[in-house]
Structure 1
Amino acid sequence: MLQTVDASKTQLDAARPLPPHTLASLREKLLLEWTYHSNAIEGNTLTLRETKVVLEGITVGGKSLREHFEAMNHRDAILYVEEIVAKSETLSEWQIRNIHALVLKAIDDKEAGRYRQENVVIAGASTTPPDFLHLPAEMKQLIAWYDGAGAMHPVERAAKLHTRFVRIHPFVDGNGRTGRLLLNFELMKAGYPPAIIRKEDRLAYYDALDEACVSGNYDSIFVLVAHSVLRSLTTYLDVLGLADSRRDDE
């Protein structure tokens, strides 16, 4: 699977620099789909088209204010992730807090960017997140692990970063969205397009995360993320007229 991903990325890299308008349109498409699917996984009821309208500054009737904020906030968080990738900044707790603060902006300003001050359970999960008193140590360990994981394939490292973060569940809300932003921070840093985990794959995604958190077996989440990366790579290659017969939906 990773060989297929890398072959597609090699094709894309060979076509760089991409035409500016093509690049801008692909970025806009993926930003919209990433925002829609990541929010929909968490229960946001905006459709893809409604999400597009909200990001253009138009209010959608019958939808809650929170759902509007979730779309706009996620877009702003993506822009921040793009910014830190462009600056080649290394991952830090400060950045993670900043990403989360953008995700919860105007939704729960008290908790935005703040580690939780209480214990929580995750509905449907087989594991319980660490006690809130352990969060500072857990997050330091996460960054220490990340700093030492440079030899891993970027797709595996991104998936493992995401999973380890979700297991810690450091915030009272917004952990899933923040975790997927971290996933794509790592992929984009390595020159891959963002992986869009689709709403339709929510059950398989949750099952893969649960398996990794319970047993330490990351195979399922690695495969799911690799498929998602390949889908985005194929979108680029299709637009550039470079796609071959490989598809990730068999």
Structure 2
Amino acid sequence: MTMHDACNKVISWWRDLDDDARAVALDAFAVRFSYNSGKIENDEITFRDTHEVFDRDGVTSYTGSLRTLFEIKNSKTAWEWLLLSVRNGVFIDETFLLEAHRLLTWGTYDEDRWAKGERPGTFKLGDYVVGARDTGAAACDVPEAIGNVLIEIREALNASNASKNALVIAAYLHAQIARIHPFADGNGRTARLLGNFILLTLRHPPISIDEADRLSYYGALDAFDVDGDLDPLVSFLKVELVKTWGERAGCTGHTGGLS
């Protein structure tokens, strides 16, 4: 089975699920997504702790940092908010973007960022370095840059072919948030969450990007950041889509699906 065929089979399987079966699938997905999304940038996050927070809203015998615990609990809160927003047909705008970020980063900003006036749920005030180079738009340019992207996203969602192009729209929003880097922290988590908002809104299954695939993920984001090429990220998301749901959708030859 080709990757194209596997993706189409996953999407068809998802759309054929009744509401109860889809809710069960999303419950299992939430833990996997939150663990992997957090683990990509914080190696202290564990699947056990994430599962306990989602299952019991707390952890036992926890020895990690307070920030890590906040990140896990925030991911649960943000995911529940996202599902409610999808059900209520909420449209994506700046207020929605800022609220997603606020929920994901509440209580996690370090003293240095806090002293500089940075706050969860607000655009960055300063410029930051990620890796070896400056990343993102200048702080003064962020509101306009994000505003232009959100206009493009709303136009794409209103187009007659939106459902067919769901992965491309989700990848574009994801890549633009990563490129603009509008926040002092939490840009990746916000991009991954809102990418899934687009997919769920367009009746597509959400995607968990496996933390073990982070180098390929970063490479796909860099292709857009440096060359404006979105295709590597779209192709990468297709692989992760099948990796997330392939087994459950009956895609033979693909592993890694939710149990």
TM-score (norm 1): 0.88
Distance in 2, matches of 1:111 and 1:67, equals: 17
CA contact 1:101–1:113 (8 Å) conserved in 2: yes
CA contact 1:50–1:60 (8 Å) conserved in 2: no
Q: Structure 1 residues 33-42 or 51-60, which shifts more?
A: 51-60
CA contact 1:227–1:248 (8 Å) conserved in 2: no
Residue 204 of structure 2 aligns with which residue? 192
Distance in 2, matches of 1:157 and 1:71, equals: 27
Q: Structure 1 residues 139-148 or 22-31, which shifts more?
A: 22-31
- Aligned-residue Cα RMSD (Å) equals 2.1
Alignment of 1:1-250 (within 5 A): 1-14=3-16, 16-17=17-18, 20=20, 22-55=21-54, 56=56, 57-108=58-109, 111-124=119-132, 128-149=135-156, 150=159, 151=161, 153-237=165-249, 243-247=250-254
Distance in 2, matches of 1:234 and 1:79, equals: 24
Distance in 2, matches of 1:201 and 1:59, equals: 29
CA contact 1:77–1:99 (8 Å) conserved in 2: yes
Q: Quote how far apart the aligned CAs of 1:185 are.
A: 0.4
Task: State the AA in 2 paired with 1:113.
Answer: G
Structure 1: 5+ residue stretches without partners: 238-242
Q: Quote how far apart the aligned CAs of 1:122 are.
A: 2.1
Report sequence identity in percent: 26
Q: Secondary structure of 1:115's match?
A: coil
Distance in 2, matches of 1:143 and 1:222, equals: 19
TM-score (norm 2): 0.85
Task: State the AA in 1 paired with 2:50.
Answer: T
User: 1:129-166: per-residue Cα shift (whole Å, max 9, x none)?
Assistant: 11101111111111111122244510111011100111
User: 1:23-73: per-residue Cα shift (whole Å, max 9, x none)?
Assistant: 444222110011100010012412212221233212443211111110110
Q: Structure 1 residues 131-140 or 225-234, which shifts more?
A: 225-234
Ranges of 4+ aligned residues in structure 1 off by more than 3 Å: 1-4, 22-25
